[in-house]
Each structure stands twice: as structure tokens, then as C-alpha cells.
Chains A and B, each alone.
Chain A
Amino acid sequence: DAGVIQSPRHEVTEMGQEVTLRCKPISGHNSLFWYRQTMMRGLELLIYFNNNVPIDDSGMPEDRFSAKMPNASFSTLKIQPSEPRDSAVYFCASSPPSSPRQFFGPGTRLTVL
């Protein structure tokens, strides 16, 4: 049974480049969450979708960050342009209808040089 799938697992890029992180939620789940984890700030919720619609993006740090969910099985988090302070592990999580339990993906470790 496939869990939440994220790609790539590791990304190293240079400052100013565009970065796209991808997530495939568990089939049948209708909520999707993007988190960022750093040593300094811990786990932060960036944005979450319900039925493909962005519900709360108050955690998105600034306009350089954008997220989309074109269908129930795919979401992207884009950073353009990237900066060294964006270096972190980005997690995607999904949850089924009527349940607060979240299932996390393995994360994407992003390093911006």
C-alpha cells in the first residue's frame, strides 16, 4: 500500500533558481498539507488543501512560495527564486475525509547554495 510519495528526495540548487517539489497523496485522502522543518523553527505548516482547494495559506513565508493542487492525486510546492534560507526539509502529508490523522511523506531535503 503506497504511502504519501514525494519527489525529489534531495534537491541541491543555487540561489535564484526555481525549485519545484512534488507530492502524491494517498488515494482517497481529501486533505493535503505542506510543512517545512528546520532546526531553528521546527515544523511549520505552510499551506493546506481540502478537496484540491487551498484553505489556509497563512503559513506561506512570502510571495516566492506558491502551491498548487490541480487534481486529487498531485500537488506541487514551488519556490521562485530560491534563497539559502529556504534550505529545509519539506514534508507533504495527507488525511482521509472526516479524520484529523495525517500521513506524512518521507520529505524532500532542499539545500540552496
Chain B
Amino acid sequence: GNSVTQMEGPVTLSEEAFLTINCTYTATGYPSLFWYVQYPGEGLQLLLKATKADDKGSNKGFEATYRKETTSFHLEKGSVQVSDSAVYFCALGPGGGNKLTFGTGTQLKVEL
């Protein structure tokens, strides 16, 4: 079955530091890959996605590249801000209908 593994948090960075959150997956077929972000007290929001191998998703300075050879979709940002503090979820789908398989989430804390 499908599964997503992402690095455990919390990840604590200083403002303007470089961010990488690792995500690897196992799946049958050719899934789409997603990063969702959850700000405190809110629901999950789509941050970026990629639908096929070598695609790069990007949004708000965040990027992730769909690497089929390494089954990875690592999230990166060159310079984080305090406002990026949130929980980040890697996900893949569809799996059985429109189900998404989510990772366990990685909490990011950005300090001044």
C-alpha cells in the first residue's frame, strides 16, 4: 500500500536560515505528491504539488521536486521567516477513490 515518511520535528531555525524537510514515499503506480501546511488553530492548506516525475512544485518561496528515482519529495525554502512557523505534511494520492496518504507532519519553529 501507499505510505509517506517524513522527518520528525520539531525543526527549529533562525529567521533567514535554509529549510529542508525530508519526505520519502512508497506507492504503486504514478501518484501525485503534495505538501500541505497547517498554521496554528487552522485546517490544512495546500502549499504545493507535483503530478509527475521531475515536476517541481513551488509556492511562497517553497519548492519541492518529484524524484521518482529516489522516491522523494523534499520541501525546501532558501530563507525562512517567523511567519512560516507551522506544521508541514507531505502527502500522496490518489489511493482508493480520492484518498490521500499523509505523513505524520513536521513542526517548524522559526525564531528571530
Do B96 and A56 have beta carbons less than 8 Å apart?
yes
Contact of B44 with A by CB under 8 A: yes
Interface residue A95 (Cβ < 8 Å from any Cβ of B): yes
What CA separation (Å) do A106 and B44 show in the bound complex? Answer: 8
Give residues of chain A (45-88) contacting chain B, Cβ–Cβ below 8 Å: 45, 48, 50, 55-56
Partner-binding segment picked from B18-26, B60-68, B99-107: B99-107
Q: Mark A14-48, 1 if CB is under 8 A from B, else 0.
A: 00000000000000000101000000001101001
Interface of chain B residues 56 through 112 with chain A (CB within 8 A): 89, 93-94, 96-100, 102, 104-105
Assess the A48–B43 pair: CB atoms within 8 A: no
Complex CA gap A104/B38 in Å reads 10
> Are the CB atoms of B43 and A100 closer together than 8 Å?
no
Cβ of B45 under 8 Å from chain A: yes
Would B102 and A43 count as touching, CB distance under 8 A? yes
Known contacts A42-B104, A45-B99, A48-B97: A101-B43 contact under CB 8 Å: no
Give chain A's interface secondary structure class. strand
Partner among B44, B49, B98 whose Cβ is within 8 Å of the Cβ of A31: B98
For the complex of A and B, list the 4 residue pairs with the smallest distance between their C-beta atoms, beginning with the closest.
Answer: A104-B43, A100-B93, A100-B94, A31-B98
Residues of A within 8 A of B (CB): 4, 31, 33, 42-43, 45, 48, 50, 55-56, 91, 93, 95, 99-107
20 contacts between A and B (CB under 8 A): A31-B97, A42-B105, A43-B44, A43-B89, A45-B99, A48-B99, A50-B97, A50-B98, A55-B97, A93-B43, A99-B98, A100-B32, A100-B94, A100-B98, A101-B49, A102-B44, A102-B98, A103-B46, A104-B36, A104-B45
